A and B are shown apart, each in its own frame.
Chain A
Amino acid sequence: MQPMRLTAIKFIFLLSFSSAYANEISNSIVLFDMSLGYNILQALQNNGFFNSLHVHSIYAPTLKNNQAMDKSITITSSLTELNGKSIAHYSLFGIDGKNQQYRLWWQLEQNSSLTEGALLRIVNLAINSRNNTINETLLNDFLYENDINNFAVRYNFENSENAIDEYSALVKISPSSDHYFWRTTIELILLNSFGLINYFVNKDANIVDWEYQPNGEGFKRKILDGWCLDTNNFRTNSLYHIYAGIIYYQTARSNNYGPFASFIWCFAGSTFWEYIGEYREQVSTNDQIFTPIGGLIFGEGLRQLGLYAERNISLGIIRGVICFILDPMRFINRQLDRWFGGEFTFHLQFINPAQTIISNAIIEQLR
């Protein structure tokens, strides 16, 4: 009995080990670079990119390993030449919660800055579909995101019935919210720095308002003295400060913040100027009111007018000049967005079991 009991324990142990392994595989992302010399997925794995998705990733040296992983997400990459350009082609094979097999594929230029952003969006879509159908996930979650600009469906008509062959969507990859936060902060500091240069160029006009020494004691007194109504001229108070507010507001607005958040940023920009920029002067109550409020009211109005001009004027240079005058920070930040972001199109195809065999065979051959 003893040897039999040992064998049984060993069997149970192996079974549990293998099921744990299978479970690990089923919740993993299997990565496979098909083109020799282009190991982008391996490089991303080594950089810890897939760890950020909170799923285990396995770099598969051969396809045979993949075939056993029926519940896993498999991502493949390959490199092709198209019109003299090296194009990276990515495919994601997955199975949704209702056992529907599907393939998501997209193409990017080799070494595109969108590689990680695109992978992140697509892998998240695949992970979320594990508890639902891929259709539902696409329609319910993915398309609610505001960065989908175009969504197309290809239909077929088989056995006198409509069916979907393929979905495709144009996805805009925008910089992250952290990126926008830091960009807004840096831009506001830069704007205040330009203001400071102007302030010291016109030092003679401003020196009359200086009350504090530029040291710790002076700053402490400034804090304790609080705010007061200033005696600057009408134009400074009613035009220059409001213009500064407009620029602060439009800076935040063009960095994807809403009206209220932009108003807060505008107030922060004004506070920074009053405490740090004009560090030798007492903080002005009227400036602290008119700068953010003026920024909100005029800034939002001019932004609206700028968008109106952008959509209704066809001439390139004239439109550019008008838009720059009305909303200069939007003009600048849209250019920056183009540098730090971009667009890509992904396709979703449904795979039936017969197709799976064919596609696996194709992959095997390609390998």
Chain B
Amino acid sequence: MKRKFSHIFFLCIVTTLLFPYFAISEVHNEDVVVSSILSRFEQMLKKKGWYTQKDDFTCKAFRFESDYHEIVAQLSASRKNTLTSFEVTIIKNGNLTIKTFTFKNTSPNYADTAEKIITSHLVSLALQNNGVSPKNPHFTSLSIGYSRTNDNTDILPEKKKGGYYLALSYTYDPSQLTGLEWMRLNFGEFLTINAWAVIDTDPINRNYINENFLNFDIIILGRHCQKENTKHRYRLLYGFFTGMEYFRPGWKDNILLWNHSLYQDQPHIQYMLWRAIACRICSTYFCNYGIYTVNFMVGLGPSINSSLFAVGWDQEEELHRSPLFQSLTGSKQNYYYSTAYPISLSLAAEYLWRFNFTFSYNFYFFYASDPAIRNEKAYDIVHILKPSIGIQLTEKLLVQINWEHWHIHSMLNGKHTSHSWNRFFMETKYYF
């Protein structure tokens, strides 16, 4: 009898000790299944080129390929006797889908079956083409306005003294939509395009001042960082970029002869540069009192540019110009091959009681680098200062006035010359 009691006692002890083990293992089992499903789903999305972020019960994924797609998958499990229910919540591109799956947890293949079925469900929703994300990573604006370039301090627009101004600004920036604290950016995952042109209102009398400018910048490798709380958000993007920039005072071939009066009346520079490599930092601070932005870029690369020393020549002088300006026959366009060191800085304060204030400074140093003309010791330095003030009429409409001061300093064979001019322009900018 005593022995029988000892057996029962022993069994009770063992059962009591094992109970929490089973209880814990059962609870733990669901977590394991959830974790396993999400891991597998994450791996699959990664292989398909998505960026992912996973914690115990959530998997967030983003894909940028020329657009922005977002999936948030959440899993939760609850056990009721022999049945376990998994609630699967998916938000893909803003569309919410909730589905509950139930399995018998007593089945020997319970975990495998659940994993197989729920993963299939997640994958099916991830691969469905259910439209474009409501979050738009493309930021485009179009401007129209009036521009006037003056060779003196007279900056006010006068009738028939300027040109119509058209501008396009485009930024592809999907990483800021992710809300992630940081992420690596690969080639093409941030790019900016800026283009503007002036169409002369009186082309014949004013020698076709049709200034045109184009700038493309594309990220090679970088990083996006973000810190956010209820009151403010700080976003930093930095990395290596490559880009091309182009500026000309006109787009008609015939006015690019250097004895043309355009260059005598209004000395200009023209350039085309490739920023082979540039370091860029874009920092933005969002708060209740506006948006503050600092942009800085420094780079270097080969370029083609003109010089003030090739301005105002007559036909005879054209034939006896410096070897720096090589095109002795044919085109008669005087530029030289150089290495460019462009630096740009811009500061902006936007949405300050509907007002926007921006200030930018661009610096270019073009140094003659063609071996044939290295002895000419030539360089050109360009400074462009641009303050602007605008008023936000609506969220999508901005009216802005800008003033640009250009200063060029040219050197050739120890001789220096410089020239300054102003450009005043008003624009109405529409954000798409």
Contacts and interface: CB of A to CB of B under 8 A. Distances in A.
Nearest to A308: B138
B123 A238 contact: no
Nearest to B137: A308
A139 B132 contact: no
B123 A289 contact: no
B188 interface: yes
Contacts of B328: 231
Given A208-B329, A231-B327, A234-B304, A304 B44 contact: no
Interface in A141-161: 143-144, 146, 148-153, 155, 157, 159-161
Nearest to B82: A160
B349 to A, nearest CB: 28
Contacts of B276: 293
Contacts of A159: 104
Nearest to B326: A231
A312 B272 contact: no
- The secondary-structure label for the interface of chain A is helix
A152 B124 contact: yes
B77 interface: no
Contacts of A301: 191, 193, 216, 218
Q: How large is the interface on B (under 10, 10 to 19, 20 to 34, 35 or more residues)?
A: 35 or more
A308 B191 CA distance: 13
A343 to B, nearest CB: 12
Contact of B191 (A146, A163, A236, A300): A300
B270 interface: yes
Nearest to B336: A229
B304 A304 contact: no
A229 B337 CA distance: 8
Contacts of A233: 253, 256, 327, 330-331, 333
Contacts of A161: 83, 102-104, 107
B274 A290 contact: yes
B48 interface: yes
B253 A143 contact: no
B123 A151 contact: yes
B244 interface: yes
B117 A155 contact: yes
B151 interface: no
Contacts of B66: 303-304, 307-308
A311 interface: yes
A256 interface: no
A153 B120 contact: yes
A162 B48 contact: no
A64 interface: no
A297 interface: yes
A139 B44 contact: yes
Given A139-B120, A293-B242, A312-B138, 9 more contacts: A139-B40, A231-B330, A234-B256, A234-B304, A259-B187, A297-B243, A304-B188, A305-B193, A308-B67
16 contacts: A149-B129, A151-B123, A159-B104, A169-B127, A229-B372, A231-B326, A233-B256, A234-B333, A235-B256, A236-B331, A242-B244, A286-B337, A293-B244, A294-B274, A301-B216, A312-B132
